[in-house]
């Protein structure tokens, strides 16, 4: 395992950090954790050199922290740093923040959390956290030794990110980043801004939640033509670890084989490892993925609200995901939410209000019809 310096912090973190959001390995396939299996996965990762573990209050119906706590008994806690998070939705004042943190410490069976994150914030959530005094609370908890570092995880656009990261004295940030997200969310600009501030960056969704693990034919052909043979997973992690700003790349794993594969991959990855030819390959890979785009919707939402309640950007995003990454709409949580809420394309009455508002002049009505055929049209 390679270890990387955490920016300005006195910490050497493993390049591979274990994400604890996806231990749904129960035999029945439901959302409950197969606890024995999860504990064995966590300990296997730690025995293999992983020293950074990421969980959150809400993961796996609030059971992820409990399982991680159990996995860290028998001396494992002393070998790792633990990151967990506070969700804004669960706290409205200082007393509730205190109660939530104490509950997390109890579930994790530890007296301190290393990295404590405001969970999944954008500018709106950050303002809401400030209103209830969260930054001061985090500072106080640092002084009391209940947490070591004040951090946030981020889902929003670059402007929000640039504002938030410079609006407080953060110790670490966690962003979604991978070779397809260079201009999405915080993106490369956000990564470089954090680097310039010497704030370590932890990466989530390095494989886009697993979507980049299986390359479609036109992408696989590019990997196959390259003189050095590597799996799609290895290329994705290699591309990330090339960046010196990145402290740790989180990966959620469901199987022992995935842990072992990632331990092998991260054993050789260092900043600056990518050759110019490899960079060129990954640029071509990105283009090959993007060539599969069904519609160039940027989710600007000028078309919204649709008078019929159709979630136009949501449908186009699911349609593109299915084409680019082979996502199964039936297993796509976001898309299934649209189905449950009656926001799907079949409700379109072709009034044209959306097309008049679209700054890119997209043929929204016809595209919704096509998306309906390909994504969610009932059989028969
Ligand atoms: N703070 C936040 O807002 C937030 C949001 C998202 C994630 N996170 C954190 O970030 C962590 C990482 O995100 P993520 O789980 O989405 O990571 P990811 O690495 O993008 O995706 C994980 C998935 O990749 C697949 N995978 C991993 N290693 C593989 C391998 N060697 N070969 C083939 N497939 C492999 C597995 O997919 P299959 O399940 O299909 O096998 C796994 O479930 C999470 O676990 C969580 O701790 C935080």
List the chain domain ranges: 3-284, 312-376
In the prediction, which pLDDT does 25 show? 55
DSSP secondary structure, 124-139, as one string = HHHHHHHHTTHHHHHH
What single DSSP character describes residue 303? T
* pLDDT class of 147 with cuts at 50, 70, 90: very high
Give the Å distance between the CA of 94 and the centre of ligand 1: 32
Q: Give the β-pairing of 113-121 and 81-86.
A: parallel
CB 56 within 8 A of CB 85: yes
DSSP secondary structure, 243-289, as one string = -TTEEEEEEE-SSHHHHHHHHHHHTS--TT---HHHHHHHHHHHHHH
In the prediction, which pLDDT does 262 show? 97
258 lines ligand 1 (CB under 6 A): yes
In the prediction, which pLDDT does 27 show? 47
pLDDT, tens digit, for every residue of 18-72?
999 887 654 444 557 789 999 999 999 999 999 999 999 999 889 999 999 999 9
The whole-angstrom distance between residue 298's C-alpha and the CA centroid of its chain comes to 19
Using alpha carbons, select from 160, 173, 163, 164 the residue that is nearest to residue 200: 173
Question: How many whole angstroms separate alpha carbon 331 and alpha carbon 327?
Answer: 8
Q: Which atom of ligand 1 is nearest to the CA of 204?
A: 10
Give the Å distance between the CA of 174 and the centre of ligand 1: 14
pTM above 0.95, yes or no: no
Tell whether the model's pLDDT for residue 299 goes beyond 50.
yes
In the prediction, which pLDDT does 45 show? 97
Decide if 76 is catalytic. Answer: no
Average pLDDT over residues 77-98: 97
Q: Which residue has the higher pLDDT, 210 or 143?
A: 143
Cβ neighbours of residue 135 under 8 Å, at least 6 residues apart? 129, 150, 168
In the prediction, which pLDDT does 223 show? 98
Question: How many whole angstroms separate alpha carbon 261 and alpha carbon 232?
Answer: 12
Question: How many whole angstroms separate alpha carbon 117 and alpha carbon 153?
Answer: 6
294 lines ligand 1 (CB under 6 A): no
Three-state SS at 359: coil
Share of the chain above pLDDT 90, in %: 82
120 lines ligand 1 (CB under 6 A): yes
Tell whether the model's pLDDT for residue 380 goes beyond 60.
no
* pLDDT class of 241 with cuts at 50, 70, 90: very high
| CATH classification for the domain delimited by 3-284, as one of 3.30.499.10, 3.90.180.10, 3.40.50.620, 3.20.20.100 | 3.20.20.100
Tell whether the model's pLDDT for residue 327 goes beyond 90.
no
Question: How many whole angstroms separate alpha carbon 198 and alpha carbon 2?
Answer: 20
119 lines ligand 1 (CB under 6 A): yes
């Amino acid at each position: 395992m390679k270890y990387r310096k955490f920016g300005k912090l006195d910490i050497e973190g493993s390049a591979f950090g274990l994400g604890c959001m996806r231990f749904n390995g129960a035999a029945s396939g439901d959302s409950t954790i197969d606890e024995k299996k999860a504990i064995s996965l966590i300990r296997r990762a730690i025995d293999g050199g992983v020293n950074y573990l990421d969980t959150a209050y809400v993961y796996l119906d609030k059971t992820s922290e409990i399982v991680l706590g159990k996995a860290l008994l028998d001396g494992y806690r002393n070998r790792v740093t633990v990151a967990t998070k506070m969700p804004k939705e669960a706290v409205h004042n200082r007393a509730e923040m205190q109660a939530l943190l104490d509950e997390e410490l109890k579930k994790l069976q530890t007296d301190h959390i290393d990295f404590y994150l405001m969970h999944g914030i954008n500018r709106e959530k950050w303002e809401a956290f400030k209103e209830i005094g969260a930054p001061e609370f985090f500072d106080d908890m640092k002084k009391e030794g209940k947490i070591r570092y004040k951090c946030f995880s981020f889902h929003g656009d670059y402007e929000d990110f640039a504002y938030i990261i410079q609006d407080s004295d953060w110790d670490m940030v966690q962003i979604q980043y991978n070779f397809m997200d260079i201009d999405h969310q915080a993106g490369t600009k956000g990564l470089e801004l954090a680097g310039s501030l010497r704030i370590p960056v932890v990466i989530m969704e390095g494989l886009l939640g697993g979507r980049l693990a299986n390359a479609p034919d036109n992408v696989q052909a590019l990997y196959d033509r390259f003189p050095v043979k590597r799996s799609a997973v290895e290329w994705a992690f290699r591309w990330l670890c090339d960046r010196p700003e990145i402290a740790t790349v989180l990966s959620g794993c469901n199987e022992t084989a995935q842990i072992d594969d990632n331990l092998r991959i991260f054993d050789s990855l260092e900043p600056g490892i990518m050759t110019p030819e490899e960079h060129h390959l990954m640029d071509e890979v990105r283009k090959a993925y993007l060539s599969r785009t069904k519609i160039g919707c940027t989710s600007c939402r000028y078309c919204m609200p649709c008078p019929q309640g159709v979630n136009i950007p949501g449908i186009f995003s699911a349609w593109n995901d299915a084409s680019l990454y082979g996502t199964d709409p039936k297993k796509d949580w976001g898309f299934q939410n649209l189905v449950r809420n009656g926001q799907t394309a079949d409700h379109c009455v072709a009034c044209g209000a959306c097309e008049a508002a679209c700054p890119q002049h997209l043929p929204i009505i016809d595209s919704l019809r096509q998306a309906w055929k390909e994504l969610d049209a009932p059989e028969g």
